[in-house]
């Protein structure tokens, strides 16, 4: 049975939780270790829903901040256990989850244990199934069963942001664009209709698509529309009757999910389009008083978040939220995933100083 010692440094804690594999759908061992460690802390009220753990202070403060991090990772690819390396002169921890997002989660666990009397009440959330479809996400489930736990004046997601503050996030939509044909023997191809050949205009439209750069409340979000998977074919001697092109649309938070869906349908007008997954983005929300205090405390210049994160869930509930965590987002899911040790320490120091009011 795995266990966690929350008295070690956040750097050592990052190594420890990364070395407990927790690919989406297999988070139980790590969730048990977090629950056992947090439940031993008398200043926190602890609630568990599946492999999602929530811990709260109840000090009667005038304001409450929600701080969340997911505990799952994408699949391991010979990049565990973690290793300490020096890359371009920078000491790093290498391995799956170091960036996305166990470095941030380790900082949160460390502070949850040590901040007994913060200047605001804090709700800590560590949740499962972030790296898969939105309907499996632990926060989705928790919002149905305990919406009261999301109440707060400001929220912080520990997603990797290079130790900077990234406001809001792009929305994310996946759709299947289908072309249909008629099966036939490939020796008599003229008898059939090749569905794969009919997909050529779909790929042409994608290749010629010009994504927007959209200013939203002072931050510029970059959009993208890309093919991410193609499926088709029956056998080596059969003209295929079906081809499916899966596309992924990342859209600025100025556009609603419904508007994003309509845009994709317009781009692929004349084709069979099925939207299979989608999540709205989140506006920056940096004008909130607590957000301004936080930016000043950590001395950060805000940037846009290009990927989708769970800040969108809080934004939809009227809680302004930002991303703030160690690690380079471009290394998330990368086989050479690694986080600078100095960033883990800096994020801990920034959060600690702001929450403690020092």
pLDDT on residue 133: 81
Q: What is the DSSP string of 200-242?
A: HHHHHHHHH----EEEETTEEEEPEEEEEEEEE---TTEE-SE
CA distance linking residue 6 with residue 35, whole number of Å: 12
Q: What is the mean predicted confidence (pLDDT) over 3-15?
A: 97
323, two tokens:
């991303």
Q: What is the mean predicted confidence (pLDDT) over 28-56?
A: 98
Q: What is the pLDDT of residues 125-161, one digit of tens each?
A: 999 999 998 789 999 999 999 999 999 999 999 999 9
Q: What is the mean predicted confidence (pLDDT) over 154-172?
A: 95
Question: Would you say residue 358 has pLDDT above 70?
Answer: no
User: Under 8 Å CB-to-CB from 33, ≥6 apart: which residues?
Assistant: 1, 2, 3, 4, 17, 20
pLDDT on residue 1: 77
| Given the residues 27, 72, 153, 223, the one annotated as active site | 72
Cα dihedral across residues 294, 298, 303, 309: positive or negative:
negative
| Given the residues 51, 128, 130, 328, the one annotated as active site | 130
Would residue 130 show up in a list of annotated catalytic residues for this protein? Answer: yes
37, two tokens:
């460690």
Q: What is the pLDDT of residues 246-305, one digit of tens each?
A: 999 999 999 999 999 999 999 999 999 999 989 899 999 888 889 999 999 888 889 999
Would residue 213 show up in a list of annotated catalytic residues for this protein? Answer: no
Q: Which among 70, 131, 127 has a CA at the least distance from the CA of 103? A: 70
């Amino acid at each position: 049975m795995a266990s966690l010692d929350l008295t070690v440094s956040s750097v050592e804690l990052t190594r420890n939780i990364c070395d407990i594999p927790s690919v989406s759908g297999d988070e139980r061992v790590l969730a048990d270790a977090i629950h056992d460690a947090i439940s031993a802390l008398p200043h926190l009220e602890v609630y568990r829903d599946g492999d999602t753990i929530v811990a709260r202070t109840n000090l009667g403060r005038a304001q409450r901040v929600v701080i969340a991090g997911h505990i799952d990772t994408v699949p391991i690819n010979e990049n565990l256990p973690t290793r300490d390396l020096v890359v371009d002169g920078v000491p790093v921890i290498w391995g799956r989850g170091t960036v996305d997002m166990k470095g941030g989660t380790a900082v949160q666990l460390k502070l949850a244990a040590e901040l007994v009397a913060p200047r605001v009440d804090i709700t800590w959330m560590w949740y499962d199934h972030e790296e898969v479809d939105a309907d499996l996400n632990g926060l989705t489930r928790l919002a149905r069963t305990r919406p009261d736990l999301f109440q707060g004046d400001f929220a912080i997601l520990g997603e990797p942001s290079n130790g900077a503050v990234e406001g809001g996030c792009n929305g994310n939509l996946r759709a299947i664009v289908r072309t249909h044909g008629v099966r036939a023997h490939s020796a008599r191809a003229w008898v059939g209709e090749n569905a794969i050949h009919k997909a050529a205009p779909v790929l042409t439209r994608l290749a010629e698509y010009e994504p927007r750069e959209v200013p939203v409340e002072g931050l510029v979000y970059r959009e993208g529309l890309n093919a991410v998977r193609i499926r088709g074919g029956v056998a080596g001697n059969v003209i295929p009757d079906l081809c499916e092109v899966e596309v992924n649309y990342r859209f600025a938070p100025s556009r609603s999910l419904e508007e994003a869906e309509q845009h994709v349908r317009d781009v692929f007008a004349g084709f069979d389009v099925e939207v299979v997954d989608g999540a709205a983005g989140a506006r920056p929300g940096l004008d909130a008083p607590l957000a301004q205090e936080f930016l000043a405390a950590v001395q950060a210049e805000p940037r846009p978040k290009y990927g989708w994160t769970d800040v969108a869930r809080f934004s939809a509930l009227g809680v302004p939220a930002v991303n703030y965590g160690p690690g380079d987002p471009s290394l998330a899911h990368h086989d050479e995933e690694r986080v600078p040790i100095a960033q883990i320490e800096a994020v801990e120091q920034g959060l600690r100083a702001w929450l403690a009011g020092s």
